[in-house]
Amino acid sequence: MRHQKKRIKLGRTAEHRKALLANQVCSLIQHQRIKTTLAKAKAVRPLAEKMVTLGKKGSIHARRTALATLRQKNAVKKLFDDIAPRSVNRNGGYTRVVKLGQRKSDSASMAFIEWVDGAQVIEEKAAEEKKTKRKEPEPKSQQRAPEREEPKPEEPKHKEPAAKEEKPAPKAVVEEAKPKKRRWFGKKSGDEGK
């Protein structure tokens, strides 16, 4: 019987599992929200909660313990400076798992794992990105105006058609598609006749 054996093994050895979970927590600290499988999100949650508890303590011993687990200095710094102070008034439950449904390729259950107190930060960043990505339509119309050719006055009828001036080719000249050289088992196209 496996009573009180809550560890989710994820089909990995102990070392691989520890490295995976540490990397997932570091990504969660850096990006505030990560998309992963539901099983991994449930396995990451306890480790992330412990790291925030260490961050709330703020001692040197807690910082070294977090560094021993996560193995990334910048993640530990951000944890202790940004994430832990936001959760000072909360007594646990620092993360949230949101189920997303199944992945198309292999039908694995997917989920977001995110900080409960970090929802405001994510929404603000998303709003800023939307504002910066939009382009004004006016510059496009100004760029197209010079490309149009103005009608030229008619030439006298007595000139021969061969003597007419040639119009310059438009800037967007479509090049002819060259036939692809196909190699099959290392043979060149020239070697086929031999």
The pLDDT, as a whole number, for residue 128 is 75
Mean pLDDT across the chain: 82
The closest alpha carbon to 44, from 80, 7, 85, 71, belongs to 7
Share of the chain above pLDDT 90, in %: 58
The pLDDT, as a whole number, for residue 137 is 60
For the domain with range 14-123, which CATH number is right: 3.90.1030.10, 3.30.70.870, 3.90.550.10, 2.60.40.420? Answer: 3.90.1030.10
The pLDDT, as a whole number, for residue 187 is 55
Q: Where is average pLDDT lowest: 21-25, 77-81, 102-106, 163-167?
A: 163-167
- Residue that the structure tokens 């990995």 belong to: 12
Span 38-68, pLDDT tens digits: 999 999 999 999 999 999 999 999 999 999 9
Please check the confidence at residue 19 and state whether its pLDDT lies above 60. Answer: yes
Please check the confidence at residue 30 and state whether its pLDDT lies above 60. Answer: yes
- pLDDT band at residue 130 under the 50/70/90 scheme: confident
> Own/partner pairs for 65-71, CB < 8 Å, 24+ apart?
69/22, 70/22, 70/25, 70/26, 70/29, 71/22
Please check the confidence at residue 105 and state whether its pLDDT lies above 70. Answer: yes
Q: Please state the domain extents for the chain.
A: 14-123
Angstrom distance (rounded) from CA 77 to CA 63: 9
Of the two residues 182 and 34, the one the predictor is more confident about is: 34
HEC-encoded secondary structure of the chain = CCCCCCCCCCCCCHHHHHHHHHHHHHHHHHHCEEEEEHHHHHHHHHHHHHHHHHHHHCCHHHHHHHHHHHCCHHHHHHHHHHHHHHCCCCCCCCEEEEEEEECCCCCCEEEEEEECCCHHHHHHHHHHHHHHHCCCCHHHHHHHHHHCCCCCCCCCCCCCHHHCCCCCCCCCCCCCCCCCCCCECCECHHHCCC
Span 131-188, pLDDT tens digits: 766 665 665 555 555 555 566 666 555 555 555 556 655 555 556 666 666 666 655 5
